[in-house]
Structure 1
Amino acid sequence: MTAHLPDAAPANWVDRRAPAALRPWLKLGRFDRPTGIWLLMLPGWQGIALAGAMEGRLPDWRWLLAFFVGAALMRAAGCAYNDIVDRDFDAKVSRTAGRPIPSGQISVKQAWAFVIGCCLVSLAILLFMPPAAIALGAGSLALVAAYPFMKRITWWPQAWLGLTFNWGALLGFAAVTGGLQWPALLLYASGIFWTLGYDTIYAIQDLEDDALAGVKSSVRRLGENTAKGVLIFYVVCFVLVLATAWAGGLGPLFLPPAALFGLHLSNQAAKVRLEDPAGALALFRSNPLAGLALFLALAAGAWTGPQGLF
């Protein structure tokens, strides 16, 4: 019987409903913590919505479904790969010591098989996309492969996660349009700063353990300036979101949900406390709501009105 992991919700469906034999595998893919699936999927949905809005139409539900499945699988593969690489570090950190690989529930060979299986199904989805999107999907693998090593060589592994997790914004846009344009690049840049903010908040949980294990993070670099840093990251994110709307010629209905997105981010920054890791986890878990607000803003921008937004 697998133990409940500390950063998973106590009432998560894996611990409560999944068959015991499947629980280690589901935990290897972080299906007991679905927040990460949303945070990987939403940039793709946002890219799809932006592409549709620039053509005056709502996002295609078929692309949204494909990106949901692809994000769930690639997030699972990425988490398993990260656990393979970090198994020695994870064994030293209280939050991660119970994960399937460091706890011995799943072997490294079995974990590699899991990674390969998830990637093959994701590849099947990717092959239905235009050539530019296929090339972008293949290019993302380099970012994924390098990510687990960033905490060893830079104080800003959260920035690399931003590059990785928000690649879907480019992929979603290219899947719809067959290529890239400046609005998609601006949306991608905004997502990098969004991730830099929320993953800095997430890293507060591991501040002491990371210091003992010699793992670098933005929280360790920022120290007492962490809350100010998160606020700066989120302000830059929101400015880039507005630049995305301007470059894409989005309509005035973009503004109300975009304002909710900005308010959500500012509320997070105001509540960040280094001495409150449980509160940091709660703030982190709220980010799918922020991402959904931005998705709705981009989708609503399809209505340009008589003059457009700007």
Structure 2
Amino acid sequence: MTAAPLPDADAANWVDRRAPARLRPWLKLGRFDRPAGIWLLMLPGWQGAALAAAMQRQAPDLALLAEIFAGAALMRAAGCAYNDIVDRDIDARVARTAGRPIPAGQITVRQAWAFLAGCSLAALAILLTLPPLAIGLGVGSLALVAAYPFMKRITWWPQAWLGLAFNWGALLGFAAAAGALRPPAALLYAAGVFWTLGYDTIYAIQDLEDDALAGVKSSARRLGAAAPRAVAGFYLASFALAVAAAWSAGLSPLFLAPAALAALHLAWQAGRVRVDDPRRALVLFRSNALTGLLLFAAFAAGGVPWR
């Protein structure tokens, strides 16, 4: 017998269909029933590693990519648990989040802290295998992560703060591959911030009414009917910065074809987003895994000599 999925989880997600019943609340606490967030946290790290390798005309290190994937999955789970601990009272008043394990009474706050600690220690074990600069960057990201749940209480732009946190992996992945930071890494990080600002504004459309009732701020609420145009602007800035990163890194023209596909996908999203269609907003948000993969492929291809 399968459990009812949470509103923002796919109806066929593996947690509700396959996982043992007693493990489901824990897997849902870590959002393993909603893997889009793992991709969106992981892909900037992959892009950073690919960009650093491409500057040396090398392919991305597969072992490093595997470490970034595992670390992103663990830290996303820890971050979601922390977010749910902090937001448990707000989540109980929002229809989309009221069924989450803590507000639903399936997991206690103390148990959630234990889950967070376990995931964080496992991620730390992976981080410690990387070069010193990457370790320092990993530790430095904790301040951004710790502050994020409070941003929706104090600013209309928590999505921008999420961009700062979620794309830190671009710097970490670059540093892990190159042992240093260079200007292309900073441009890639800035591109990611605008990308996240766009896709998380789309995501926030789902909660416009509930957020207003709960007093929660978001870029979607602040922008209102102008949100689709703003998303288009955020995506344009993101793509321009990604191209600037490739240009400053001296990548080959082979970067251009997959990058153009990423640009078309961003334009498709911006053209379809509607503030009165939350279901479509979730579909568009999830599709950003493809955008990130295309940009990763573009940076990897840019490391192949043109002649």
Decide: shared fold, TM above 0.5: yes
Alpha-carbon distance in structure 1 between the residues aligned to 2:155 and 2:135: 30
CA distance in 1 between counterparts of 2:80 and 2:43 reads 17
Note if 1:134 corresponds to 2:135. yes
Confirm or deny that 1:278 pairs with 2:279: yes
The residue type paired with residue 71 of structure 2 is G
1:93 aligns with 94
Task: Give runs of aligned pairs for residues 188-267 of structure 1, distance below 5 A.
Answer: 188-267=189-268
Alpha-carbon offset, residue 305 of structure 1: 2.1
Residue number in structure 2 paired with 1:8: 9
Q: By how many angstroms is 1:16 displaced? A: 0.2
The alignment partner of 1:96 has SS state of: coil
Q: Which amino acid aligns with 1:300?
A: A
Q: Distance in 2 between matches of 1:151 and 1:80?
A: 17
Distance 1:298 1:33 in 2: 27
Is the contact between residue 3 and residue 17 of structure 2 (CA under 8 Å) also seen in structure 1?
no
SS in 1 for 2:21: coil
Q: What do residues 134-193 of structure 1 show as CA deviations (whole Å, max 9, x unaligned)?
A: 100000000000000000000000000000000000000000111100000000000000
Partner of 1:23: 24
Query: Does the aligned pair in 2 maintain the 1:249–1:304 contact within 8 Å?
Result: no
CA contact (8 A) 2:253 2:302 kept: yes
Does the 8 Å contact 1:47/1:172 carry over to 2?
A: yes
Cα deviation code 1:265-305 (max 9, x no counterpart): 01000001011000000000100000000000000000232
Which residue pairs with 1:67 in the alignment? 68
Counterpart CA distance in 2 for 1:109 and 1:137 is 25
What percentage of aligned pairs have identical amino acids? 72
Alignment-derived partner of residue 33 in structure 2: 32
Partner Cα separation in structure 1 for residue 90 and residue 174 of structure 2: 37
Residue in structure 1 matched with residue 289 of structure 2 by the alignment: 288
The one-letter code of the counterpart of 2:135 is I
Q: Secondary structure at the match of 1:10?
A: coil
Report the counterpart of residue 106 of structure 1 in structure 2: 107
How far, CA to CA, are the matches of 2:41 and 2:220 in structure 1? 22
Partner Cα distance (2:287, 2:91) in 1: 25
Q: Is the 8 A contact 1:219 1:226 kept in 2?
A: yes
Q: Which ranges of 4 or more aligned residues in structure 1 deviate by more than 2 Å?
A: none
- 3-state SS of paired residue (1:22): helix
Which residue is equivalent to 1:174?
A: 175
* Matching residue of 1:151: 152
Q: How far apart, CA to CA, are the structure 1 residues paired with 2:157 and 2:125? A: 33
Which consecutive residues of structure 1, in runs of 5 or more, have no partner in the other structure? none
Give the match for residue 50 of structure 2: 49
Q: CA deviation at 1:3?
A: 3.9
How far apart in 2 are the matches of 1:234 and 1:270?
11
Q: Say if 1:3 and 1:98, in contact at 8 Å, map to a contact too.
A: no
One-letter amino acid of the structure 2 residue matched with residue 259 of structure 1: A
1:69-84 matches, within 5 Å, as: 69-84=70-85
Where structure 2 has 5 or more consecutive residues not aligned to the other structure, the ranges are: none
* Rounded Cα–Cα distance in structure 1 between residues aligned with 2:294 and 2:211: 33
Using the TM superposition, give the Cα deviation of residue 2 of structure 1 relative to its aligned residue in structure 2, in angstroms. 5.3
The range that moved more, 296-305 or 154-163, is: 296-305
| Residue identity opposite 1:135 in structure 2 | G
How big is the shift at 1:4? Answer: 1.8
Give the SS at the match of 2:175: helix
* One-letter amino acid of the counterpart of residue 247, structure 1: S
Aligned equivalents of 1:27 and 1:147: distance in 2? 20
Q: 2 CA distance for matches of 1:42 and 1:52?
A: 15
- Residue 43 of structure 1 aligns with an amino acid whose one-letter code is P
Supply the distance in 1 between the matched residues of 2:284 and 2:3 (Cα, whole angstroms): 27
1:103 Cα deviation after fit: 0.5
Distance 1:165 1:304 in 2: 31
RMSD (Å) for aligned C-alpha atoms: 0.8
Taking structure 1 as the reference length, the TM-score comes to: 0.98
C-alpha distance in structure 1 between counterparts of 2:304 and 2:10, whole Å = 39
